[in-house]
Chains A and B, each alone.
Chain A
Amino acid sequence: DVKVTQSSRYLVKRTGEKVFLECVQDMDHENMFWYRQDPGLGLRLIYFSYDVKMKEKGDIPEGYSVSREKKERFSLILESASTNQTSMYLCASSLTSRVGQPQHFGDGTRLSIL
Protein backbone atom coordinates (compact mmCIF):
# COMPACT_ATOMS: atom_id res chain seq x y z
CA ASP A 1 0.00 0.00 0.00
CA VAL A 2 1.03 3.55 -0.67
CA LYS A 3 1.98 5.45 2.42
CA VAL A 4 1.84 9.24 2.43
CA THR A 5 3.07 10.65 5.71
CA GLN A 6 2.57 14.21 6.89
CA SER A 7 4.93 15.24 9.64
CA SER A 8 2.38 16.74 12.02
CA ARG A 9 -1.31 16.06 12.68
CA TYR A 10 -1.77 19.33 14.58
CA LEU A 11 0.30 22.49 14.50
CA VAL A 12 -0.13 25.87 16.18
CA LYS A 13 1.90 28.85 14.98
CA ARG A 14 1.85 32.61 15.36
CA THR A 15 1.11 35.30 12.80
CA GLY A 16 4.20 36.24 10.81
CA GLU A 17 6.08 33.02 11.46
CA LYS A 18 7.57 30.99 8.61
CA VAL A 19 5.85 27.60 8.68
CA PHE A 20 7.00 24.35 7.07
CA LEU A 21 4.66 21.44 6.40
CA GLU A 22 6.40 18.25 5.36
CA CYS A 23 5.11 15.33 3.32
CA VAL A 24 6.85 12.07 2.42
CA GLN A 25 5.67 9.24 0.17
CA ASP A 26 7.25 5.82 0.01
CA MET A 27 6.18 4.51 -3.41
CA ASP A 28 8.43 6.39 -5.83
CA HIS A 29 5.50 8.45 -7.13
CA GLU A 30 6.28 11.12 -9.71
CA ASN A 31 3.63 13.63 -8.69
CA MET A 32 2.87 15.28 -5.38
CA PHE A 33 0.18 17.77 -4.40
CA TRP A 34 -0.75 20.15 -1.61
CA TYR A 35 -4.39 21.01 -0.91
CA ARG A 36 -6.18 22.96 1.75
CA GLN A 37 -9.61 21.90 2.95
CA ASP A 38 -12.07 24.38 4.44
CA PRO A 39 -15.72 23.89 5.43
CA GLY A 40 -18.00 24.65 2.53
CA LEU A 41 -15.11 25.10 0.08
CA GLY A 42 -14.03 21.50 -0.43
CA LEU A 43 -10.46 20.80 -1.50
CA ARG A 44 -8.48 23.53 -3.20
CA LEU A 45 -5.17 22.85 -4.91
CA ILE A 46 -2.31 25.04 -3.72
CA TYR A 47 0.71 23.68 -5.62
CA PHE A 48 1.78 20.48 -7.27
CA SER A 49 5.01 18.95 -8.51
CA TYR A 50 5.52 16.49 -11.34
CA ASP A 51 9.25 15.93 -10.84
CA VAL A 52 12.11 16.80 -8.54
CA LYS A 53 12.65 20.57 -8.47
CA MET A 54 9.62 21.07 -10.72
CA LYS A 55 6.50 22.79 -9.44
CA GLU A 56 3.36 24.40 -10.75
CA LYS A 57 0.83 26.71 -9.16
CA GLY A 58 -2.57 25.37 -8.37
CA ASP A 59 -5.72 27.39 -7.82
CA ILE A 60 -4.69 29.28 -4.66
CA PRO A 61 -0.88 29.67 -4.52
CA GLU A 62 -0.79 33.13 -2.96
CA GLY A 63 1.04 33.21 0.34
CA TYR A 64 2.57 29.76 -0.17
CA SER A 65 5.66 28.26 -1.74
CA VAL A 66 6.86 24.68 -2.13
CA SER A 67 10.07 22.73 -2.31
CA ARG A 68 10.83 19.35 -3.82
CA GLU A 69 14.53 18.57 -3.50
CA LYS A 70 14.04 14.79 -3.38
CA LYS A 71 11.45 12.69 -5.16
CA GLU A 72 9.85 11.38 -1.99
CA ARG A 73 9.51 14.67 -0.13
CA PHE A 74 7.33 17.69 -0.86
CA SER A 75 7.30 20.65 1.50
CA LEU A 76 4.73 23.42 1.76
CA ILE A 77 6.02 26.74 3.10
CA LEU A 78 3.96 29.57 4.51
CA GLU A 79 6.36 32.47 4.11
CA SER A 80 4.65 34.70 6.68
CA ALA A 81 1.72 32.95 8.29
CA SER A 82 -1.59 34.78 8.58
CA THR A 83 -4.78 33.88 10.40
CA ASN A 84 -6.62 33.21 7.12
CA GLN A 85 -4.23 30.33 6.53
CA THR A 86 -5.73 28.44 9.45
CA SER A 87 -6.97 25.28 7.75
CA MET A 88 -6.60 21.55 7.20
CA TYR A 89 -3.72 20.84 4.79
CA LEU A 90 -3.68 17.62 2.80
CA CYS A 91 -0.76 16.17 0.87
CA ALA A 92 -1.27 13.64 -1.94
CA SER A 93 0.80 11.73 -4.47
CA SER A 94 0.18 9.86 -7.72
CA LEU A 95 2.26 7.37 -9.60
CA THR A 96 2.58 9.03 -13.00
CA SER A 97 1.28 11.97 -15.00
CA ARG A 98 -0.98 9.73 -17.07
CA VAL A 99 -4.55 11.03 -16.97
CA GLY A 100 -6.75 8.91 -14.72
CA GLN A 101 -4.21 8.09 -12.05
CA PRO A 102 -5.74 8.18 -8.57
CA GLN A 103 -4.17 10.28 -5.86
CA HIS A 104 -3.20 8.88 -2.46
CA PHE A 105 -3.60 11.13 0.56
CA GLY A 106 -1.93 11.62 3.89
CA ASP A 107 -3.94 12.07 7.09
CA GLY A 108 -3.68 15.84 6.99
CA THR A 109 -2.21 18.58 9.15
CA ARG A 110 -4.61 20.80 11.03
CA LEU A 111 -2.84 24.15 11.22
CA SER A 112 -3.93 26.98 13.49
CA ILE A 113 -2.41 30.43 13.12
CA LEU A 114 -2.89 32.61 16.18
Chain B
Amino acid sequence: GNSVTQMEGPVTLSEEAFLTINCTYTATGYPSLFWYVQYPGEGLQLLLKATKADDKGSNKGFEATYRKETTSFHLEKGSVQVSDSAVYFCALSDPDSSASKIIFGSGTRLSIRP
Protein backbone atom coordinates (compact mmCIF):
# COMPACT_ATOMS: atom_id res chain seq x y z
CA GLY B 1 0.00 0.00 0.00
CA ASN B 2 0.89 3.68 -0.09
CA SER B 3 2.91 4.91 2.88
CA VAL B 4 5.36 7.49 4.19
CA THR B 5 8.33 6.83 6.47
CA GLN B 6 10.16 9.69 8.12
CA MET B 7 13.02 9.80 10.56
CA GLU B 8 12.07 9.51 14.17
CA GLY B 9 12.66 12.35 16.52
CA PRO B 10 13.17 14.20 18.53
CA VAL B 11 15.87 16.07 16.67
CA THR B 12 17.76 18.70 18.66
CA LEU B 13 20.05 21.20 16.97
CA SER B 14 21.79 24.43 17.84
CA GLU B 15 20.73 27.67 16.19
CA GLU B 16 22.28 28.16 12.72
CA ALA B 17 22.93 24.43 12.27
CA PHE B 18 22.08 22.61 9.03
CA LEU B 19 18.88 20.59 9.12
CA THR B 20 17.94 17.42 7.28
CA ILE B 21 14.81 15.43 8.04
CA ASN B 22 14.63 12.26 5.97
CA CYS B 23 11.45 11.09 4.31
CA THR B 24 10.88 8.15 1.98
CA TYR B 25 7.64 6.98 0.44
CA THR B 26 5.97 4.01 -1.17
CA ALA B 27 3.27 4.71 -3.71
CA THR B 28 1.62 3.46 -6.84
CA GLY B 29 1.45 5.99 -9.63
CA TYR B 30 2.76 9.53 -9.26
CA PRO B 31 1.74 11.16 -6.01
CA SER B 32 2.27 14.75 -4.99
CA LEU B 33 4.51 15.16 -1.95
CA PHE B 34 4.14 17.62 0.92
CA TRP B 35 5.83 18.83 4.05
CA TYR B 36 3.57 20.20 6.78
CA VAL B 37 4.65 21.93 9.98
CA GLN B 38 2.81 22.03 13.32
CA TYR B 39 3.82 24.71 15.81
CA PRO B 40 2.95 24.14 19.48
CA GLY B 41 -0.77 24.39 20.14
CA GLU B 42 -1.70 24.82 16.49
CA GLY B 43 -2.95 22.79 13.55
CA LEU B 44 -0.83 21.72 10.59
CA GLN B 45 0.31 24.26 8.02
CA LEU B 46 1.46 23.43 4.51
CA LEU B 47 5.17 24.23 4.35
CA LEU B 48 5.97 23.18 0.77
CA LYS B 49 4.93 20.76 -1.94
CA ALA B 50 6.19 19.13 -5.13
CA THR B 51 4.02 17.57 -7.77
CA LYS B 52 6.38 15.65 -10.05
CA ALA B 53 9.82 14.09 -10.19
CA ASP B 54 12.75 16.53 -9.80
CA ASP B 55 10.47 19.34 -8.63
CA LYS B 56 11.89 21.34 -5.75
CA GLY B 57 9.50 22.83 -3.24
CA SER B 58 10.71 25.72 -1.10
CA ASN B 59 9.37 28.09 1.54
CA LYS B 60 10.77 30.04 4.52
CA GLY B 61 14.30 28.78 3.77
CA PHE B 62 13.21 25.13 3.71
CA GLU B 63 13.66 22.99 0.60
CA ALA B 64 12.80 19.48 -0.52
CA THR B 65 13.34 17.78 -3.88
CA TYR B 66 11.07 15.06 -5.26
CA ARG B 67 13.43 12.16 -6.03
CA LYS B 68 11.64 9.42 -7.87
CA GLU B 69 14.69 7.19 -8.24
CA THR B 70 15.21 7.02 -4.48
CA THR B 71 11.52 7.58 -3.57
CA SER B 72 12.59 10.34 -1.20
CA PHE B 73 11.56 13.88 -0.27
CA HIS B 74 14.06 14.99 2.39
CA LEU B 75 13.51 18.36 4.10
CA GLU B 76 16.55 20.66 4.40
CA LYS B 77 17.34 24.08 5.78
CA GLY B 78 20.74 25.69 5.76
CA SER B 79 20.54 27.60 9.04
CA VAL B 80 17.79 26.86 11.55
CA GLN B 81 16.35 29.32 14.04
CA VAL B 82 14.72 28.84 17.43
CA SER B 83 11.40 29.72 15.78
CA ASP B 84 11.69 26.60 13.60
CA SER B 85 11.03 24.41 16.64
CA ALA B 86 7.95 22.41 15.69
CA VAL B 87 6.76 19.01 14.50
CA TYR B 88 7.31 18.32 10.79
CA PHE B 89 5.17 15.89 8.80
CA CYS B 90 6.03 14.41 5.43
CA ALA B 91 2.98 13.41 3.40
CA LEU B 92 1.81 12.20 0.01
CA SER B 93 -1.39 12.48 -1.92
CA ASP B 94 -3.04 9.08 -1.98
CA PRO B 95 -3.23 8.21 -5.70
CA ASP B 96 -5.73 5.43 -5.06
CA SER B 97 -8.33 7.50 -3.27
CA SER B 98 -11.07 9.97 -3.92
CA ALA B 99 -11.47 13.36 -2.25
CA SER B 100 -7.77 14.32 -2.25
CA LYS B 101 -6.88 12.12 0.69
CA ILE B 102 -3.39 12.56 2.08
CA ILE B 103 -1.23 9.98 3.83
CA PHE B 104 0.91 11.45 6.62
CA GLY B 105 4.13 10.27 8.17
CA SER B 106 4.36 9.98 11.92
CA GLY B 107 6.02 13.38 12.37
CA THR B 108 9.46 14.50 13.53
CA ARG B 109 9.78 16.83 16.49
CA LEU B 110 12.50 19.44 16.01
CA SER B 111 13.93 21.48 18.88
CA ILE B 112 16.40 24.30 18.28
CA ARG B 113 18.68 25.47 21.12
CA PRO B 114 19.62 29.17 21.24
CB-based contact A42/B101 at 8 Å: no
CB-based contact B100/A100 at 8 Å: yes
A33 to B99, CA, bound (A): 9
A98 to B107, CA, bound (A): 25
Contact flags B71-114 to A (C-beta < 8 A → 1, else 0): 00000000000000000010001110111111011110000000
> Known contacts A42-B104, A106-B43; is A48 also within 8 Å of B99 by CB?
yes
> Known contacts A43-B89, A99-B93, A100-B93; is A107 also within 8 Å of B100 by CB?
no
CB-based contact B100/A98 at 8 Å: yes
A40 to B105, CA, bound (A): 11
CB-based contact B89/A42 at 8 Å: yes
Could you say which residues of chain B place their CB within 8 Å of the CB of A16? Answer: none
A92 to B101, CA, bound (A): 11
Could you say which residues of chain A place their CB within 8 Å of the CB of B93? Answer: 99-101
Question: Footprint of A on B, CB under 8 Å?
Answer: 31-32, 34, 36, 41-46, 49, 51, 89, 93-95, 97-102, 104-107
List 22 A-B pairs, Cβ < 8 Å: A41-B106, A42-B105, A42-B106, A43-B44, A48-B99, A49-B99, A50-B98, A56-B98, A56-B99, A90-B43, A90-B44, A94-B99, A97-B100, A99-B31, A99-B93, A99-B95, A100-B51, A100-B93, A101-B100, A103-B46, A103-B100, A105-B43
